[in-house]
Amino acid sequence: MTFKHITEEKLSLPTEFPALPSMGGYVLFAGIVRDINDGKQVTHLEYEAYSEMANQMIANIIADAFQKWELQYADCIHRLGKLNLGEVAVIVSTGSIHRDEAYKANRYIIDRVKHEVPIWKKEFYINGSSEWSKGCVDELHEH
Amino acid sequence: MKIQLLSFAALKDFFPPKQELSLDGIHTVFDLKNYLQNKNPDASNLIKVSRISINQIIAKDSDTITEGSIVAVLPPSSGG
């Protein structure tokens, strides 16, 4: 199954901006698989989601961002399945007339996606062990 | 009452990813959490910090579960 905001396909960075003449600022965030977490050497990750629900929740978060800021453009796509180091896990892109709103909306979307959307990460370590990420139970959501 | 129960991520170490449950005396999300914690006490800490969705909508502890619902136990998210 493929959804607009959830995919098992490899993510590529966009090579062109959305063709919107009023858009003067465009912000792109990419979440990338890194090789270390909590001091443990990571070899790869697996992402799992409650896909139908995750897709709808991301769509709702984007709609909320459009309500909060005067955006020209906003999108988010999250990858599932096995991801190797350096691969892109999530892309959030936002555009607005001026840069400020694009920056703020981008941060808002990735923070909410990270903390609210039912997507989970399993980390695989160099010693052969693996562990589900504990996720965020911190109300401040500042990490 | 019959429901379909979905478990994700670390919860799958304790419960099947998808199961049909016939439940008696369970009316609310709170009741279901207690039932699952009693069924597998090792999962208690994880269930306590998990959210529950009913038919893909996040539910409160006081919300009622109805016949035929698809109920999911969602551990804290860790996407991004």
ipTM of the complex model: 0.94
Decide if B78 and A90 are in contact by the 8 Å CB cutoff: no
Flag whether B80 is in a domain: no
Q: Which residue do the tokens 């979440």 mark?
A: A31
What CATH number belongs to A23-33+43-131?
3.90.1170.40
Question: Domain range spanning residue B21?
Answer: 2-74
CA nearest neighbour of A114 among A36, A29, A52, A12:
A29
Decide if B78 and A117 are in contact by the 8 Å CB cutoff: no
What residue type is assigned to position A85 of the chain?
L
- Taking the Cβ of residue A122 and every Cβ of chain B, the question of whether any pair is shorter than 8 Å is answered with yes
- Taking the Cβ of residue A64 and every Cβ of chain B, the question of whether any pair is shorter than 8 Å is answered with no
Q: What residue ranges do the domains of chain A occupy? A: 23-33+43-131
Please report the pLDDT score of residue A38 as a whole number: 87
CB A76 within 8 A of CB A61: yes
Tokens of A128: 């052969």
Flag whether B79 is in a domain: no
Name the domain count of chain B.
1
Please report the pLDDT score of residue A137 as a whole number: 63
- Mean pLDDT of each 10-residue bin along chain A, 143 residues long: 92 94 97 93 97 97 98 98 98 98 98 96 96 73 49
Query: What are residue B70's DSSP bridge partners?
Result: B4
